Amino acid sequence: MAEHRSMQRAALLDAARSLLSEGGTEALTFPALAERTGLARSSVYEYFRSRAAVVEELCEVDIPVWAAEVEAAMAAAGGADAKIEAYVRRQLELVGDRRHRAVVAISASELDAGAREKIRAAHGGLVAMVVDALADLGHGEPRLAAMLLQGVVDAAVRRLELGAAEEPDAITEAAVSMALRGVRG
């Protein structure tokens, strides 16, 4: 029974990811979750008390996966410059990833304090990864620089998400170049 419940919960989270990546948080409704999973709407409420609860659980499950991918890319890079470049590039590559698309949709939406706090903590984890690389470059304010660098990444993510006029590669290269020149400032 417990296994069946965890499978249904996983199916609901997967349906939530799809809905978020297709239509943002407005698309994430209990009727839509019920329809996607073939569960009764009342069953959806047995697993999650609200949309915010779905979003919070997705944050808990997906953001660490995303952070681990960024961390792995940084670990594989040699030298502080390469680590910073990997930090920017990997996050922008993940924009096309369905799990990441859900995280982006979540980040862009109006959330309750609990979900916002989880996203902030996860972003804090990402920022912490790059602080050491910036310190290795001899940056005077590595924590501040890391937060500003994440701001550049977030802005590039939004451009990619919007399907901006620029080619995705141009957005990525501009962000990488801005990051590498900026962190030496």
pLDDT, one tens digit per residue, over 99-124 is 666 766 666 665 667 767 777 777 77
Encode 122-144: b = buried (16+ Cβ within 10 Å), e = exposed: bbebbbebbbebbbebebeebee
93, with CB counted inside 10 A (0-12, 13-18, 19+), is middle
Query: Hey, CA dihedral for 121, 123, 124, 126, is it positive or negative?
Result: positive
pLDDT, one tens digit per residue, over 3-21 is 888 889 999 999 998 898 8
pLDDT, one tens digit per residue, over 119-153 is 777 777 788 889 988 998 888 999 999 989 988 98
Question: Residue 30: is its pLDDT beyond 90?
Answer: yes
- What integer pLDDT is reported at residue 136 of this predicted model? 87
| Residues 2, 169: Cα–Cα separation, whole Å | 45
- What integer pLDDT is reported at residue 99 of this predicted model? 62
| Residues 78, 20: Cα–Cα separation, whole Å | 36
Secondary structure (DSSP) of 6-42: HHHHHHHHHHHHHHHHHHHHHH--HHHHHHHHT--HH
| Residues 133, 51: Cα–Cα separation, whole Å | 38
> Structure pTM?
0.76
Encode 11-48: b = buried (16+ Cβ within 10 Å), e = exposed: bbbbbbbbbbbeebbeebebebbbebbebeeeebeebb
| Residues 181, 95: Cα–Cα separation, whole Å | 23
Alpha carbon distances (Å) from 66 to 28, 74, 149: 21, 13, 17
Question: Residue 44: is its pLDDT beyond 90?
Answer: yes
